[in-house]
Structure 1
């Protein structure tokens, strides 16, 4: 873990200040950011504007776009999306990656897809969302980039909905922090899902893939990610 990228987001209403000052803090992580949710103030940064491979933390933007569509009334939680063979092959059981274990041609409620992404980190769920919203994953990636630009993310570029490896799929930890603040502020009613520790779908129970929920008192989100490219 010491040689891997690490994102530290403090998303509580209040923070305990270090008596020695934020500049005295040290971490072996290559990239890090510590920020105050209420003010947006940076309490600690390290290579925070460097573009890195975000792995599954990319899914925060996928979920943001989906929740935005719900908020605008274009989609409801009760709507169902169809699972394509492409989504199953690239992100389902056949892919050997993190998956919601969706089945080809299955109709899945949007509410369940949200949980499948946030709790199970399902690549299949992300691709299903992308295809049903934009018609294809590349078209959805264009929507992600458009949203990132409107949000003011300066060092973010998305090539897919999942965060699976692509040489041009990058984001800075600074932009991840800004995205996290937007998610919490814009959709507070969905925030409790991030700390839900398990979710069962298609008869398969999976635990939340965020290990901090089990090891760090007070942790309540948001997302972790791992690929060989990104590390952990």
Structure 2
């Protein structure tokens, strides 16, 4: 209910404003020497140009021509309202105002014609659908009369460089005391068994690393 009351109030206000503006334009045109039906035609011409420019702005808000004619029609309507508010002696209208009123029909006709026949902004092209399938690769066609390039010749495999020979590690130096101890063990084994003591048995008996045990076995000449 409040919405319908608000809409009705706006319509009533629009009717009142339109009637007053219509009457002011009629009075100004009649004061400028346009009598009879001609005085009534001027407000119709101004209002029609204003409506035509506004309709064009609804579809093309960036149209400079529509804005220009909308401002011209609005200025004519506002100018008539101000001029008839007591600021202008309607019994002695200046010559420049008579010229403007007399030239208004041609100006309104030009504006209406341009608004009707000027094409609107072209609509943007519709977006092309995106194809999800990948495009087929293009096959490059070779001319048959051109010689084909020769295949690259296989180069002989390069011989791998021989790894550098590393010198054998030097034999560890056997301390004399350790050598005497090992000799006593070997002699005891020979005396008890009648056979020389094996090198691995001597290494296990002494609990020495292999390089040191081998060096002792070499000194004692054990197998």
**TM-score after normalising by structure 2:** 0.21
| Greater share of helix | 2
**TM-score after normalising by structure 1:** 0.20
| Greater share of strand | 1
Larger Rg: 2
Higher relative contact order at CA 8 Å, sep ≥6: structure 1 or structure 2? 1
